[in-house]
């Protein structure tokens, strides 16, 4: 009888560990940037962008993040500033980002601030299917929730803040 109880306890423990390995990755494009100086390669967020960053915090108010990833640009970091994140790590490309998350944050909740030309590549790097063909320079209101297990990701697309797509 003791062996049977031990066996079922072990099975329960192992199944819980397997289920806990789903990693939740939120991917968002940075909020609106200040375009007043076309020569500025690293602009801050515009007033509208700061409002959107606040909207992002409102949208994600019930999500507890373990880590954030951002490119080295001010606008991506500022997009995450309204969120409570214990640590934000810079990344340079989608593949190294996905590798880092899978290696260091498996089973955790992660947010990534990206750019219009990398958001969909990041989704693919995690094993997800592109939920849309492309993002344009005017697409600031999309957010993607990935449930990652091994090399596959389920992708859910949503919108937050003031919509661009009515």
Coil vs helix vs strand at 47: helix
Q: How far is the C-alpha of 155 from the C-alpha of 130, rounded, in Å?
A: 8
Q: How far is the C-alpha of 120 from the C-alpha of 122, rounded, in Å?
A: 5
Q: How far is the C-alpha of 19 from the C-alpha of 17, rounded, in Å?
A: 6
Percent of the chain topping pLDDT 70: 87
Q: How far is the C-alpha of 136 from the C-alpha of 44, rounded, in Å?
A: 19
Helices (H) and strands (E) in the chain, counts: 5, 6
User: Rounded to two decimals, what is the model's pTM?
Assistant: 0.87
Q: Give the H/E segment covering residue 88.
A: strand 88-90
The string of pLDDT tens digits covering residues 68-118 is 999 999 999 999 999 999 999 999 999 999 999 999 999 999 999 999 999
The string of pLDDT tens digits covering residues 18-32 is 455 899 999 999 999
Q: Which two tokens stand for residue 10?
A: 């072990």
State in Å, rounded, how far the first CA of the chain is from the last one: 63
Domains detected in the chain:
23-159 (3.40.50.1240)
Percent of the chain topping pLDDT 90: 83
């Amino acid at each position: 009888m003791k062996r049977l109880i031990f066996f079922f306890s072990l099975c329960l423990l192992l199944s819980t560990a397997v289920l806990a390995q789903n990693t939740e990755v939120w991917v968002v494009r940075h909020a609106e940037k200040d375009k007043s100086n076309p020569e500025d390669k690293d602009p801050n967020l515009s007033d509208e962008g700061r409002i959107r960053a606040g909207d992002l915090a409102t949208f994600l108010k019930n999500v507890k993040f373990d880590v954030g990833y951002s490119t080295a640009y001010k606008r991506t970091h500022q997009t995450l500033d309204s969120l409570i994140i214990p640590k934000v790590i810079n990344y340079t490309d989608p593949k190294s980002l996905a590798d880092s998350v899978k290696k260091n944050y498996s089973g955790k909740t992660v947010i990534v601030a990206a750019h219009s030309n990398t958001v969909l590549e990041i989704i693919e790097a995690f094993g997800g299917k592109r939920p849309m063909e492309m993002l344009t320079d005017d697409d600031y209101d999309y957010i993607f929730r990935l449930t990652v297990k091994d090399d596959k990701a389920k992708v859910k697309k949503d919108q937050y803040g003031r919509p661009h797509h009515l």
